[in-house]
Chains A and B, each alone.
Chain A
């Protein structure tokens, strides 16, 4: 019995309030174990986040009284303290993952302090690149989805900084297209080898959802940007091709795994891509009319299709 069952029965009976409350507590609400788990993981997440932020702030302060060797020594010691226990086979899986995440953040602090002390003249791209390179092994061995998500953000930041700071002319507007392609590859990898990204999970979980949304958003932005310069038809073709491939992949995944999330995401991508295309091809009032017709008809069709799909999947599982 779930919440919906309780609501249906309560709406069509004279079930007393006490009975409804008791059923909800028994079947729907979290029990003592769930509460304990919730408090425990909240404490761990808050503890690690606040402590690490404190460490980052401490070194960002650039305390004059602390000698440069002390600063580097402190970070080095913290890194050793964090990484050394992770090689112990008896260490709890969650503790190992949390420690490797903390060590990965500390590696970034190390490079920041190094640049601060020696005034290396490196730009933000160099800093992020070094950070990404030197934490790659930890991320790979941890197989911890939170760390992978942070690494995904780090890689994207590094790439966009490269496009902006190092090669703004050399890339000639291909930065977004290449980012779309790279994120698409990452997405394929998350689906093809889920256990590489999460040591215990059998199938793609929330990490895949996050990467899918991010990849889809970058693909739509890349397509919109490519449309703004139609004279560069190679860029436009590449962006369109990647968008199509991404949609095919997500649709296929949705049908394979029977998850409406992916199909809905494809619908949202198509909706936005269609609006962008209409805005580009048609000008003035007609563009608005085409847009509204496209959105209304598209939405109607997509929701009908999704409901039909959901219903047939539910019937199959009965």
Chain B
């Protein structure tokens, strides 16, 4: 049901709108109100169910035959998609997404068993993910589709391209976040009827950029691996630092919260922080994500960025090749600078 406040507001607008469609959208929202706790439960549950279904198929020996695997996979995908499109609700999504994930895994296993080229496997899985994103509704399936498409893109680049392409793809995803977070209005104008896919696209891209850095770069989860070439970190940090600076410049121009001199000071502080942490790419990325998610009022994104920033700062100091005494001074100095900044802001507020 459209609230009176919205109805009154709409009547005073000059643009044309479809009143019936808006009412239907509100009715559908009232019928199926989403909640973050339910979404988390559904994502957890569907992943768990998918793993269990795949294990059961394994134990029954279906995966001994590649053809059976492929047939099961395609059947799972089609059945899951059919249920998802037929009954669009979080309840049926628990079953449909489990089936789709099972289908996805089965197709990947079948193609893997046939020793098909990695590029072809990744390509087909990316196509399936993109198709799922285009045809899906609600939040969970489009979100999982974006994440899986990006992850398979990373796997494909890692397997088929020279190492410099990983930071390139990572930077491209970081650039893609800019319009999603800073120009939401333009994007909604572009998507129009598909506007419901904005939120899963936003969170999916954010998760993919983080996965790109933490999983597909050699600095974090993959341990101390040989870098493909010298100063490989700079290939990750320099583009993201530049993107971060352009985002900050754009936001400082738009927001009117401080006089010009303060804006220059803030910009210079961020340049200094990014410059000092060029060899720690996670700090630049986390800072960039924190700025854009806070601007966009994306609470989940802000929390993820804060956690990532804490982890990145901890790792930065852990990896410094100095004695504990020098490290302590390097910790205390910026600490005192931040405290002085807090004191200055408090004083200026008065």
User: Which positions in A face B, CB cutoff 8 Å?
Assistant: 1, 3-24, 28-33, 35-36, 38-40, 43-44, 46-58, 60-61, 63, 260-261, 263-264, 267-268, 271, 275, 285, 288-289, 291-292, 295-296, 299-300, 302-304, 306-307, 310-311, 314-315
Cβ-defined contact, A58 with B325, below 8 A: yes
In Å, the complex CA distance between A29 and B94 comes to 32
User: Which of A289, A292, A310 is B35 in contact with, Cβ under 8 Å?
Assistant: A310
In Å, the complex CA distance between A57 and B6 comes to 56
User: Which of B255, B294, B345 is A40 in contact with, Cβ under 8 Å?
Assistant: B345
Cβ-defined contact, B324 with A61, below 8 A: yes
- 7 pairs from A and B in contact (CB 8 Å cutoff): A10-B192, A21-B186, A46-B338, A47-B337, A51-B335, A264-B41, A311-B32
In Å, the complex CA distance between A9 and B329 comes to 54
Q: Which 3 A-B pairs have the closest CB atoms?
A: A21-B185, A32-B257, A54-B332
**Shortest Cβ distance from B60 into A: residue:** A285
Residues on B with C-beta less than 8 A from A14 are 15-17
Cβ-defined contact, B45 with A12, below 8 A: no
Cβ-defined contact, B26 with A8, below 8 A: yes
Taking the nearest CB of chain B, how far is it from the CB of A269, in angstroms? 11
Taking the nearest CB of chain B, how far is it from the CB of A67, in angstroms? 16
In Å, the complex CA distance between A4 and B28 comes to 13
**Which B14-56 residues sit within 8 Å CB-CB of chain A?**
15-18, 21-22, 25-26, 29-33, 35, 37-38, 40-42, 44-46, 48-49, 52-53, 55-56
Residues on B with C-beta less than 8 A from A44 are 338-339, 342
Residues on A with C-beta less than 8 A from B325 are 57-58, 61, 63
Residues on A with C-beta less than 8 A from B219 are none
* Extra pairs beyond A57-B328, A295-B52, A302-B41 (9, CB < 8 Å): A19-B185, A20-B189, A30-B294, A32-B257, A52-B335, A264-B37, A295-B49, A299-B49, A307-B91
Residues on B with C-beta less than 8 A from A28 are 297
Given contacts A3-B297, A60-B324, A306-B38, contact A13 B18 (CB under 8 A): yes
Residues on A with C-beta less than 8 A from B330 are 54
User: Which positions in B face A, CB cutoff 8 Å?
Assistant: 5-6, 9-10, 13, 15-18, 21-22, 25-26, 29-33, 35, 37-38, 40-42, 44-46, 48-49, 52-53, 55-56, 59-60, 89-91, 94-95, 98, 183-186, 188-189, 191-196, 198, 255-258, 266, 294-297, 317, 323-325, 327-342, 345-346, 349
Cβ-defined contact, B185 with A18, below 8 A: yes
Given contacts A24-B184, A33-B257, A306-B37, contact A15 B17 (CB under 8 A): yes
Cβ-defined contact, A310 with B33, below 8 A: yes
In Å, the complex CA distance between A43 and B265 comes to 14
Given contacts A36-B257, A50-B335, contact A311 B33 (CB under 8 A): yes
Residues on A with C-beta less than 8 A from B297 are 3, 28-30
**Shortest Cβ distance from A40 into B: residue:** B345
Residues on A with C-beta less than 8 A from B341 are 43, 47
Residues on B with C-beta less than 8 A from A8 are 22, 25-26, 29, 195
Residues on A with C-beta less than 8 A from B95 are 296, 300
Cβ-defined contact, B41 with A267, below 8 A: yes
User: Which of B18, B38, B186 is A310 in contact with, Cβ under 8 Å?
Assistant: B38
**Shortest Cβ distance from B42 into A: residue:** A303
In Å, the complex CA distance between A49 and B331 comes to 9
Taking the nearest CB of chain B, how far is it from the CB of A216, in angstroms? 13
**Shortest Cβ distance from B344 into A: residue:** A43
Cβ-defined contact, B37 with A295, below 8 A: no
Cβ-defined contact, B332 with A292, below 8 A: no
Residues on B with C-beta less than 8 A from A311 are 30-33
Cβ-defined contact, A292 with B6, below 8 A: no
Taking the nearest CB of chain A, how far is it from the CB of B48, in angstroms? 6
**Shortest Cβ distance from B31 into A: residue:** A311
Residues on B with C-beta less than 8 A from A314 are 30, 33
In Å, the complex CA distance between A316 and B11 comes to 28
Residues on A with C-beta less than 8 A from B41 are 264, 267-268, 299, 302-303, 306
Residues on B with C-beta less than 8 A from A306 are 35, 37-38, 41
Cβ-defined contact, A19 with B257, below 8 A: no
Taking the nearest CB of chain B, how far is it from the CB of A107, in angstroms? 18
User: Which of A13, A31, A288, A296 is B94 in contact with, Cβ under 8 Å?
Assistant: A296
User: Which of B37, B59, B188 is A7 in contact with, Cβ under 8 Å?
Assistant: B188
Given contacts A50-B334, A57-B327, contact A30 B295 (CB under 8 A): yes
Cβ-defined contact, B295 with A292, below 8 A: no
